[in-house]
Chains A and B, each alone.
Chain A
Amino acid sequence: MKIKILHRGFNFSQDGPGNRLVYHLQGCNFFCPWCSNPESIAIDGTKMVSDGKEKLSCTEHDIDDVFEEILSGKMLMFSGGGVTFTGGEPTVQFEALKELLQKCKESGINTAIESNASHPRFLELSEIVDYMIVDLKHYDTEKHKSAIGTSNAKTIDNIKEASKVRNQLLIHIPLVGNFNSSKDDAESFSKLIKSFDNEKIDVEVLRYHEYGKDKWTQCRMEYKMTDAHVSDEEYLQFIDVLKKNGISIIKT
């Protein structure tokens, strides 16, 4: 079985605990206009132009080779580290992802995913994922759909179900100005999260940034975001509301 990989590398405790080998998989079923990896969206990869040269964003690999690579990286999975699959959206390549997670789990390698949790079979992964990160971009289905092009209904269902069966769940909220960053938004997020089995849930709020802006040009795509930066005050206010609602906030 093949898998399309956008990028891979080690990093420390940003996508799960300890030092982790992180695979960014190609393809995403959402279209977030603030995406910092726009080249990851197209299922078959994106041709990027840099210095006058064109290069495809991803490479295709046999999953057995990827697994070999993961095994060879065990020496650097220190401080409770392991392997993380993120994206793009890793569940877009569901079968390959599941098989790799299964193999890692059987080999005693700590597994993590970062996902938008919208895949219909998402919950099948829960048992083979030690550390689960889900992105929750909006609490409101219509607003979610209008910004991203897809409903968040399945995401919310999956998070809810996952929170029941898991002992750990980290929700990432990308904080985007004029989209989901107001005090009212914070209250509504809190309400939604509290409707989950929220004792095991941690939340990390990630502020809007434009680090990926140039890549939109390289992908020959238009970056349409304007005025989406979140001020310190607004960010702290957002966090404050969540905390007041008893939600556990972490920063990795």
Chain B
Amino acid sequence: MNIKELYKQDEITQKAKALFKEERSLMRLDGWLIARETAYLHSEEFKSLDKEMRAAKELEAIIERLPLSISDNAVFAGTQRDAFARSYALINPAFRVETFSGYCDPTAVYDDIEPNEDFPKERIDAVREYTKKTDYVRTLTEMYDKYEDYTAEVAFFIEQVTGHLIPDFKPVLRYGLDKIIADIEEKISAETNAKKKTNYESFNITLKSTKRLAERYAEIAESKMAQAYDERKAQLELLAKTLRKVPAKGAESLYEAIQSFMLLWQVMCLEQAPNPFAFSVGNADRIFEPYRQMSGEDRKTTAELLKHFLVFFNVADRSWAISQSVLVGGKANDGTDLTNETSYALMDAYYDMNLPQPILSAKLHKNTPKEMYREMGKFFFTPGVLTPSLFNDDALFAVLKNAGKDVEDLENYSVAGCQEPLIMGKDNGNTTNSWFNMPKILELVLNNGCSTITGKKIDTVTTETDAKKLLQNIREEFYKNADYFADKMCDAANGASIAISELPVPFLSVFMGGIETGIDMRDTKEQGTKYNGSGCLIHGLSIIADSFVAIDCFLKDYPDDAERLLNALRNNFEGEEELREYLQSCPKFGNNNVVVDREAAENASKISDMIASKKNYLGNSFRPDWSSPSTHLTYGYWVGATPDGRKAREQLGYGVDPLYGEAGSGLGFRMLSTFKLPFEKFCGGYASHFGVDPKFFTGKEYEDKGAEFGERVISPLFFNDLNEDISPFYLYVNVTTPETLRKVLADPQKYAPSGVYIMRIHGTFVNFLDLSPAIQQDIIKRLDLESTRL
């Protein structure tokens, strides 16, 4: 049976669009509760089991119990909606900067579900109460309580990391689960270590459960087939036949490969319900291209099938912060370009569907075909259409090699979460484990360890009480304190990792190196993955650099007024507007000013080294990641006035970008400042955004504009022959103007009749119309077109 013969012209696309519409109309997500309830209902039965085995048995029970269905619009079977709560995430429409809590309550998600007849309050509360008593929640709560003084006003923040990984499903697509199960059986026979033996047994339970999921879907397809006629009957027949084959056996066509992949993904997410955020597919073009070649689909049919693949990643009406991503393009270890027909088909699918999920990223290198830039033009220049974020392979290969990755693994780097580079199937980076707020630490240093926001004593190791001496030695004092706070943060972060290790993930571990090691990838005593580290998101680069330089200027011009400056900061510049204006007029990062750019580079270098010197639960380094996914707003809210002239509670700079409004010399000068940062040390990633005015691109067609964009923005930034250092390796862009966005907000019916107007925010796409006003305004503000004037 050939897929093209079973569906009429464009029918696959029509079904994908109808399926998305169905999904978006879902107003309840109860599957995750059923999943957790299943664990609760079996808790007595599984009580005595080893925790790895318990996790496997729970997953097996969940797969057996979960209600399943296949839509009339489905071309494939599978969904990940049962793994997600409806609104639980930082960036949701109800997000308010003011209500951010510096405390991560793992049972707060139970407030997300609205009780109804099927799920009365008592039913929800029973699961919540059970969850509260688990070792995981107990351990985590202890850690939060211990460090509450630090996290309440976000001197730092920590969290237990779920999702945020890139599993390698390729062997299953190729050989099937049966082969993997057999390989693991052999491991079980040969294994003498009891723990590993149990782990292997647990792994296989989850793989067999995955086969069971396929069987359950096959049964549904077969029963629907009995009531269907003509084309639909044949379509369901193919679906049932495919589900009887994959993922148990290897895929032999694009259709089978996509189906196989979807079920594996579904199980992976179920295992981490309700928090499977930010998993990444990796290079989907490389994963599926061999199968496309086997079955011979052309670009159009490939795109049609991939539209269903994309719809799969959308969950109910939520269009934010699932943060799962798909990559295209890039180069091989020998420098060969790996863009293929599936890369372009996938881009076609993305463009036509324009869905809020999953995130698209393009890996670029010096020899990326011009065609790729031309194809990207339509994404950048069509208003309200998603845009790919951009990665520079040439630089990232060097950064990752420098961070200890083997050369043969480099081409398999991918990104999870917003922009965190990880090696597919081999690297557990715990990427969002810790969050470091430098401006808060500066505030505490300048105010005897007291918060200028609440007056509360937090902490400091500064003993200098003379205002002038304190300002003269501000760098030394700041870095001393930064190190002190970083130690506490890492201890807390490791505690959170130990807590989450109470919830092993046998299924995921199989695809993260577990077959070789026999160790769960969350194990905190033995390393289950080839690479391991913990992430630290560092906030406030531009504020610190601008503040240090402003302090220097101030001491030079007003040598006897140190106390006045400190008082002005404590009082949020009340009555000191003139002083504030003076501080604002001091040099700012982002304008190619030698002094302040050097300060920023030094800060980035020192803090990266400091973070990298800290050890996680396995003795591996923390990874410096200079990104701030909306946390530049939430953390800024808890930071008092700073010496750069920023007022209390105002936002921090985004990622490594200049503070909005402070880089008024245009894109060229901003890039020159950016080049000076030590990108080789940003092995955990970093964030940077350009809001670009479309008027600078004059090409006739979108494709021509895409080529211009490549020539004038991407190439000079990423592949600059004159840059002798490691080049920038990440960028996301929004090509629009504040006026356009204000119009969209004022009249969505006119400017976004579909109700979807996609913008980029951090690593993810969002439906601009679904966002909270605070984030909508942040997007508008940070377009900051003066900083990108061409």
Q: A residues engaging B (CB < 8 A)?
A: 8-12, 19, 21, 68-69, 72-76, 78-79
Pairwise interchain contact A76-B711, C-beta atoms closer than 8 A: no
The distance in angstroms between the C-alpha atoms of A251 and B298, with both chains bound, is: 42
Q: How far is the CA of A73 from the CA of B670 in the complex (A)?
A: 11
A-B contact pairs, 28 of them (CB 8 A): A8-B665, A9-B665, A9-B666, A9-B668, A9-B669, A9-B789, A10-B668, A10-B790, A11-B666, A12-B790, A19-B668, A19-B712, A19-B716, A21-B668, A72-B592, A73-B669, A73-B672, A75-B671, A75-B675, A75-B722, A75-B723, A76-B671, A76-B716, A76-B720, A78-B715, A78-B716, A78-B720, A79-B712
Which of A10, A69, A75 contacts B667, CB < 8 Å? A10
Task: Determine the chain B residues whose CB is within 8 A of the CB of A72 once the complex forms.
Answer: 592, 594, 672
Which residues of the other chain, A, contact B715 by a CB distance below 8 angstroms?
Answer: 78
In the assembled complex, the CB of A95 is this many whole angstroms from the nearest CB of chain B, namely 25
Nearest chain B CB to A152 CB, angstrom units? 32
Cβ contact within 8 Å between A10 and B696: no
Instruction: Report the bound CA distance from A167 to B711 in whole Å.
Output: 28
Give Cα A11 to B666, complex, Å: 9
Q: Which 4 A-B pairs have the closest CB atoms?
A: A10-B668, A9-B666, A75-B722, A76-B668
Alpha-carbon distance between A74 and B722 when the two chains are bound, in angstroms: 8
Complex CA gap A68/B595 in Å reads 13
Whether A10 lies near B722 (C-beta < 8 A) is no
B52: min CB distance to chain A, Å: 53
- The residues of A that contact B594 with a CB separation of less than 8 Å are 68, 72
Known: A75-B672, A76-B672, A79-B711. A12 touches B696 (CB 8 A): yes
A10 to B665, CA, bound (A): 8
Given A19-B716, A21-B668, CB of A11 within 8 Å of CB of B790:
yes
Enumerate chain B interface residues (CB-CB to A < 8 A).
592, 594, 665-669, 671-672, 675, 696, 711-712, 715-716, 720, 722-723, 789-790
CB-CB < 8 A to B666: which residues of A? 9-11
Enumerate chain A residues within 8 angstroms of B716, measured Cβ to Cβ: 19, 75-76, 78
Contacts of A78 in B (CB 8 A): 715-716, 720
B592: chain A residues at CB < 8 Å are 69, 72-73
Closest residue of chain B to A53 (Cβ to Cβ) is: B581
* Residues in B neighbouring A10, C-beta threshold 8 A: 666-669, 790
- A-B contacts besides A73-B592, A76-B672, A76-B720, 6 pairs, CB < 8 Å: A8-B665, A9-B669, A10-B667, A12-B696, A73-B668, A79-B712
Distance from B347 Cβ to chain A, minimum over Cβ atoms (Å):
26
Most buried by B among A9, A19, A73: A9
Q: How far is the CB of A94 from chain B (nearest CB, A)?
A: 26
A198 to B418, CA, bound (A): 57
Which chain B residue has the least Cβ–Cβ distance from A11? B790
- Measured between beta carbons, the chain B residues less than 8 angstroms from A75 are 671-672, 675, 716, 720, 722-723
Residue of A nearest to B668 (CB): A10
Complex alpha-carbon distance, A72 and B593, angstroms: 10
* Residue among B592, B696, B789 with max Cβ neighbours from chain A (10 Å): B592
Q: How far is the CA of A69 from the CA of B594 in the complex (A)?
A: 9
Instruction: With both chains docked as a complex, state the minimum distance between the C-beta of A117 and any C-beta of chain B, in angstroms.
Output: 27
For A8, the chain B residues whose CB sits under 8 A away are 665
Bound Cα distance A59, B155 (Å)? 39
Q: Which residues on the B side are within 8 Å of A73 (C-beta)?
A: 592, 668-669, 672
Residue of B nearest to A75 (CB): B722
Q: Please indicate the chain A residues that have their CB under 8 angstroms from the CB of B696 in the complex.
A: 12
- Find chain A residues with CB under 8 A from B675 CB: 75
Q: How many angstroms between the C-alpha atoms of A10 and B667 in the bound complex?
A: 7
Residues from chain A with a CB closer than 8 A to the CB of B790 are 10-12
| Chain B: minimal CB distance from A17 (Å) | 13
Residues of B close to A79: CB separation below 8 A: 711-712
Q: How far is the CA of A72 from the CA of B675 in the complex (A)?
A: 11
Q: What is the CA–CA distance of A160 and B647 in the complex, to the nearest angstrom? A: 58
Tell me the bound Cα distance from A26 to B668 in angstroms.
21
A74-B722, A75-B720, A75-B722 given; A12·B665 CB < 8 A: no
A69 to B668, CA, bound (A): 12
Q: How far is the CA of A76 from the CA of B790 in the complex (A)?
A: 11
Q: Which residues of A contact B668 (CB under 8 A)?
A: 9-10, 19, 21, 73, 76
Q: What is the distance, in angstroms, from B299's C-beta to the closest C-beta of chain A?
A: 32
| Inter-chain contacts of A12 with B (CB < 8 A) | 696, 712, 790
Task: Report A11 CB to chain B, min CB distance, Å.
Answer: 6
Query: Contacts of B711 on A, CB cut-off 8 Å?
Result: 79
Q: Which residue of chain B has its CB nearest to the CB of A74? A: B722
Expressed in whole angstroms, the Cα–Cα distance for A68 and B669 within the complex equals: 13
In chain A, what residue has the closest Cβ to B696? Answer: A12
Q: How far is the CA of A11 from the CA of B712 in the complex (A)?
A: 10
Within the complex, the shortest CB–CB distance from A22 to chain B, in Å, comes to: 9
Q: Which residues of A contact B669 (CB under 8 A)?
A: 9-10, 73
> Distance in Å from the Cβ of A173 to the closest Cβ of chain B?
21
Q: How far is the CA of A223 from the CA of B672 in the complex (A)?
A: 37
- Which residue of A is nearest B671, CB measured? A76
- Would you give the shortest CB distance from A56 to chain B, in whole angstroms? 12
User: Closest chain A residue to B715 by CB distance?
Assistant: A78
- The complex places the Cα of A245 from the Cα of B723 at a distance, in Å, of 47
Q: Which residues of chain B are near A19, meaning CB under 8 Å?
A: 668, 712, 716
Nearest chain B CB to A78 CB, angstrom units: 5
Minimum distance in angstroms from B414 CB to a CB of chain A: 29
Q: Separation in Å of the B590 CB from the closest CB of chain A?
A: 13
Chain A residues with CB under 8 A of B672: 72-73, 75-76
B586 → chain A closest CB, angstroms: 14
| Docked complex Cα distance between A79 and B668 (Å) | 14
B668, B711, B789, B790 — which one has the most chain A CB atoms within 10 A of its CB? B668
Q: How far is the CA of A75 from the CA of B673 in the complex (A)?
A: 11
Query: In the assembled complex, which residues on chain A have CB atoms less than 8 Å from the CB atom of B665?
Result: 8-9
B341 → A minimal CB distance (Å): 31
Question: A20's closest neighbor in chain B, by CB?
Answer: B668
CA A73 to CA B712, docked complex, whole Å: 15
Q: Which B residues are CB-close (under 8 A) to A11?
A: 666, 789-790
CB distance from A177 to the nearest CB of B (A): 24
- For A21, the chain B residues whose CB sits under 8 A away are 668
Q: Which of B666, B711, B720 has the most CB of A within 10 A?
A: B666
Question: How many angstroms between the C-alpha atoms of A78 and B711 in the bound complex?
Answer: 9
- In this complex, the member of B592, B712, B715, B723 whose beta carbon has the largest number of chain A beta carbons within 10 angstroms is B712
- Interchain nearest-CB distance for B494 vs A (Å): 41
Cα–Cα, bound, A68→B672 (Å): 13
**Please, which residue of chain B has its CB at the minimum distance from the CB of A69?**
B592
Nearest CB in chain B: distance from A38 CB, A: 20
CB distance from B597 to the nearest CB of A (A): 10
Interchain CA distance A74-B721 in the complex, whole Å: 11
**Closest A residue by C-beta to B585:** A55
